[in-house]
Chain A
Amino acid sequence: MGNLTDEGLEVLLDCPAIQNLHTLNVSNNCVSEEFFEQMEQLAPPDCLLIKDFQEPIVDRNVGISRYYALYE
């Protein structure tokens, strides 16, 4: 779980070391779908990108992340 945003991922992708990765897992962060679409050109070729469960940054502190537990 992280707080990586579009800006953060852009900085990360600028880093030369990223070019050697075969997998980049940025699941459970706050990257927008629009950015993922754009980043195809920025990401290293042949790098598997895993990007499950992105949340709006606004929900990182409170809001929809909190849940009312069911009683099982």
Chain B
Amino acid sequence: MLNFIAIANPENRRLGFLKQALSHFNLPPATVIPYADLIAGKQTLEQFKVPNTIIRFDSPERDFEIDKAIIAAGFAVPDDGQHQRISPAEVAFLEFDKGRICYPRQWYLGWRHLLQQWLQQLLVPCVDGVGFMNHPEDIAVMFDKPACHEKFRRHNIPVPRSLGKIHSYDHLREQMQQQEIDRVFVKLSHGSAASGVVAYQANSKFESAITTVERVRENGETLLYNSRKIRNYTRREEIADIINILTAEGVQVEEWLPKARLQGCGFDVRVVVINGEAQHIVVRLGKSPMTNLHLGNERGNSEELLEKVGAENWEAMKYTCEQAAKLFPRSLYCGVDLLILPDWKQHAILEINAFGDLLPGILWNGMDTYTSEVKAILQRNIKEG
């Protein structure tokens, strides 16, 4: 019998999907270890160094106290970035301010440090990815957009052209001119859910930054918030301020590629790869350059997509997603964002997400993502047993 351990925030709805998936195979619910307990040292993972244990790290999302603890853990991590820093004592006084973009680089440094620490506590022999559903080291890389882009590029996975490391607004303008690219996506290196994403275009006459970022001036400083209301900034002063704050936290800047259109909208596709196989898909129709569904975008018709793409092209696209996932061989699943160009043939990988499997209601072979993941674990276990 396998013992599933889920490391998560207990109120996260993802745990419900895992429970349902385990129960589908008559398995008991996972033992839930709250991130809060692990971070506070109330529990360690050493207790799980036993055979037949499967550990699932899930997203530490939607808990401001956990965010604060992760940011605090990142304070002492050496880093040469120009990001804003905040001491653990100051972190303690941070108050929840919905949507505020808070110390993303320090958050990432803390998250990576904690994942390493938890891995050390386990040191479980890891056979072909079993032991962890997703390996902590892979998770850390998947939270690092420039690192993923570079990894994909090195392995000939098609990706939008990167402009390289960008330090500031002026540097961005200079690089766009030098590299003859007039529209780019600027993304926070460690952002998720379109947080800190700017679709920026500029020429000699005008510039425009379409973004989820809401810029607020308060007491002489700029605060950035995530907003569902997509804004189009056109004043240089505002754009430069936003870009300078984002670049200080670290960004991935890449060419803004045109998207094929479906149902009157540009779109991309979230493809969940499980156990090496591209399985569940969601077409995300974008009313703006950002296609994330929580921004009010709608799911598109997958049948229509497959019809337009054609079987041969779709096989090639799935293969690309699978190859991208294969670069993380110690991880069972991931969510890959696939862009299809207007010729319906060329394509590129935009992102890979360690926790990109939350697609409620989307089935593949009659199973949701969580059920398919558990099935894959059981099948691997039988083969190895």
Complex CA gap A56/B226 in Å reads 18
Q: Are A65 and B227 in contact (CB under 8 A)?
A: yes
Q: How many pairs of residues, A versus B, come closer than 8 Å at their CB atoms?
A: 71
Contacts of B358 in A (CB 8 A): 70, 72
Contact status of A72 and B62, CB under 8 A, knowing A1-B230, A55-B229, A66-B225: no
A5 in the interface (beta carbon within 8 A): no
Q: Are B296 and A68 in contact (CB under 8 A)?
A: no
Q: Are A72 and B228 in contact (CB under 8 A)?
A: no
Complex CA gap A11/B192 in Å reads 40
Within the complex, the shortest CB–CB distance from B241 to chain A, in Å, comes to: 18
Contacts of A66 in B (CB 8 A): 98-99, 214, 225-228
Quick one: which of A55, A65, A67, A72 contacts B356, CB cutoff 8 A? A72
Q: Are B226 and A52 in contact (CB under 8 A)?
A: no
Within the complex, the shortest CB–CB distance from B272 to chain A, in Å, comes to: 11
Contacts of B354 in A (CB 8 A): 72
B158 in the interface (beta carbon within 8 A): no
Contacts of A28 in B (CB 8 A): 229-230, 287
Complex CA gap A27/B296 in Å reads 12
Contacts of B90 in A (CB 8 A): none
Q: Closest chain A residue to B14 by CB distance?
A: A70
Q: Are B214 and A71 in contact (CB under 8 A)?
A: no
Complex CA gap A55/B296 in Å reads 11
B335 in the interface (beta carbon within 8 A): yes
Contacts of A71 in B (CB 8 A): 59-61, 143, 192-193, 355
Counting chain A CB atoms within 10 Å of each CB, which of B62, B228, B296, B356 scores highest? B228
Complex CA gap A64/B371 in Å reads 33
A53 in the interface (beta carbon within 8 A): yes
Q: Closest chain B residue to A64 by CB distance?
A: B228
A58 in the interface (beta carbon within 8 A): no
> Could you give, for residues 31-72 of chain A, a 1 whenever the CB lies within 8 Å of some chain B CB and a 0 otherwise?
000000000000000000000110100011000111111111
Q: Are A53 and B60 in contact (CB under 8 A)?
A: no
Quick one: which of A27, A59, A68, A70 contacts B98, CB cutoff 8 A? A68
Q: Are B59 and A1 in contact (CB under 8 A)?
A: no
Contact status of A69 and B353, CB under 8 A, knowing A1-B231, A27-B287, A53-B296: no
Contacts of B205 in A (CB 8 A): none
Complex CA gap A10/B137 in Å reads 57
Chain B: interface residue count, which band?
20 to 34
Within the complex, the shortest CB–CB distance from A14 to chain B, in Å, comes to: 26
Complex CA gap A27/B214 in Å reads 19
Contacts of B296 in A (CB 8 A): 53
Restricting to B201-256, which residues have a CB under 8 Å from any CB of A?
214, 225-232
Restricting to B267-323, which residues have a CB under 8 Å from any CB of A?
287, 294, 296
B106 in the interface (beta carbon within 8 A): no
Q: Are B355 and A72 in contact (CB under 8 A)?
A: yes
Restricting to B190-206, which residues have a CB under 8 Å from any CB of A?
191-195
Contacts of A68 in B (CB 8 A): 61-62, 64, 98-99, 226
Counting chain B CB atoms within 10 Å of each CB, which of A27, A55, A68 scores highest? A68
Complex CA gap A66/B99 in Å reads 5
Within the complex, the shortest CB–CB distance from A23 to chain B, in Å, comes to: 11
Q: Closest chain A residue to B270 by CB distance?
A: A72
Complex CA gap A28/B287 in Å reads 10
Q: Are B191 and A69 in contact (CB under 8 A)?
A: yes
Complex CA gap A19/B309 in Å reads 39
Complex CA gap A28/B210 in Å reads 14
Contacts of A67 in B (CB 8 A): 98-99, 193, 226-228, 294
Q: Are B230 and A70 in contact (CB under 8 A)?
A: no
Complex CA gap A1/B227 in Å reads 12
Interface CB pairs A-B, < 8 A, 6: A65-B214, A65-B229, A66-B227, A66-B228, A67-B193, A69-B193
| 12 further contact pairs, Cβ within 8 A, besides A70-B294, A71-B60 | A1-B229, A64-B228, A65-B214, A65-B227, A65-B228, A67-B99, A68-B99, A70-B59, A71-B61, A71-B192, A72-B59, A72-B356
The chain A residues found within 8 Å of chain B, CB to CB, are 1, 27-28, 52-53, 55, 59-60, 64-72
